[in-house]
């Protein structure tokens, strides 16, 4: 599988500035209040944009990447909160799949988290995942693979983390990935999610996020840079 034009998304400036500083931008364009940067990153053609926070923002930006940016695959990079006790701040999680933790149509017989007529878990692309894992290994960065849950809430209240871990078996939680996954799934576009842990989704999560989010986001961006180098070399 060769990828020659990759879409890269993040929710925050901190999640993308590292990549923007390393890419050679050749053009920019705007749609729906979003700015898209096209150019080369480690020899690979990329289209990069800040999706902003939340599911609707990320879905809109992903669709624009696919329609106007004509990307062949999409990677979402950034930070997330840990849902399991042994995930350390700064550790990387590659999504094996993405799901919603704030969808509830159980009254009509659907499992918690499932949007009607769609998969409960949107499986990520095996090739992209393997390349992300190899990029992590080359950089000597600790990583693991598992489900990532998404919803339009920053998880920090007591008991939320335990409830999400129990209900969904997810390793991490954030606010965009499942919407990106659903958009790519409906368009038949390969996708994956890479998250660096910025907090433990607990009572001090806001403080941890402020203290560690930039460092964690840069670590994820380092992996994306190496990932692009690998794709460029094999494409």
Per-residue model confidence (pLDDT) at position 211: 58
Predicted confidence at residue 210, as pLDDT, reads 59
Q: Inform me whether the pLDDT recorded for 35 exceeds 80.
A: yes
pLDDT tens-digit profile of 171-225? 999 999 999 999 999 999 999 999 988 876 665 555 556 556 677 778 888 999 9
pLDDT of residue 144: 94
- pLDDT at residue 72 is higher than 90: yes
Q: Residue 78's pLDDT is what? A: 87
Tell me the C-alpha distance between 209 and 190, whole Å. 29
Average pLDDT over residues 6-22: 88
User: Which one from 14, 199, 202, 208 is the annotated catalytic residue?
Assistant: 199
Helix/strand/coil for 187: helix
13: annotated active-site residue: no
- Residue 92 pLDDT level (bands cut at 50, 70, 90): very high
Structure confidence at residue 216 (pLDDT): 74
Q: Architecture of 5-234 per CATH?
A: 3-Layer(aba) Sandwich (3.40)
Q: Compute the mean pLDDT over every residue in the chain, rounded to the nearest whole number.
A: 91
Q: Which range among 44-58, 114-128, 133-147, 158-172 shows the weakest confidence by mean pLDDT?
A: 158-172
Catalytic annotation, pick one of 15, 38, 91, 202: 15
pLDDT for the residue numbered 206? 56
- Distance from CA of residue 152 to its chain's centroid? 15
DSSP state letters, 113-164: TPPTTS-SSEEPPHHHHHHHHHHHHHHT--EEEEEEEE-SS---STTHHHHH
User: What's the rounded Cα separation, in Å, for the pair 23 and 149?
Assistant: 30
pLDDT computed for residue 204 by the predictor: 53
| More confident call, 26 vs 220 | 26
Q: What is the DSSP letter of 106?
A: G
Strands 92-100 and 191-199: antiparallel
Catalytic-residue membership of 199: yes
Rounded to an integer, the average pLDDT of 59-76 is 97
Domain segments of the chain as ranges: 5-234
Per-residue DSSP letter, 21: H
């Amino acid at each position: 599988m060769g990828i020659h034009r990759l879409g890269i998304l993040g929710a925050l400036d901190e999640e993308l500035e590292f990549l923007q500083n390393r890419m050679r931008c050749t053009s920019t364009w705007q749609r729906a209040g979003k700015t898209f940067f096209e150019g080369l990153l480690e020899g690979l053609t990329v289209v990069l944009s800040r999706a902003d926070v939340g599911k609707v923002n990320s879905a809109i930006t992903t669709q624009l990447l696919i329609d106007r940016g004509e990307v062949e695959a999409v990677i979402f990079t950034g930070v997330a909160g840990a849902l399991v006790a042994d995930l350390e701040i700064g550790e990387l999680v590659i999504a094996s799949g993405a799901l919603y933790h704030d969808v509830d149509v159980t009254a009509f017989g659907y499992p918690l988290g499932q949007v009607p007529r769609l998969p409960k878990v949107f499986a990520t692309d095996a090739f992209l995942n393997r390349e992300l894992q190899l990029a992590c290994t080359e950089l000597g960065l600790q990583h693991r693979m598992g489900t990532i849950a998404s919803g339009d809430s920053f998880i920090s209240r007591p008991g939320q983390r335990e409830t999400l871990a129990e209900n969904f078996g997810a390793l991490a939680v954030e606010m965009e990935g499942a919407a990106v996954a659903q958009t790519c799934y409906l368009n038949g576009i390969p996708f994956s999610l890479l998250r660096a842990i910025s907090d433990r989704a607990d009572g001090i999560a806001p403080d941890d996020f402020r203290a560690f989010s930039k460092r964690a986001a840069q670590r994820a961006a380092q992996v994306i840079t190496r990932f692009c180098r690998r794709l460029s070399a094999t494409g």
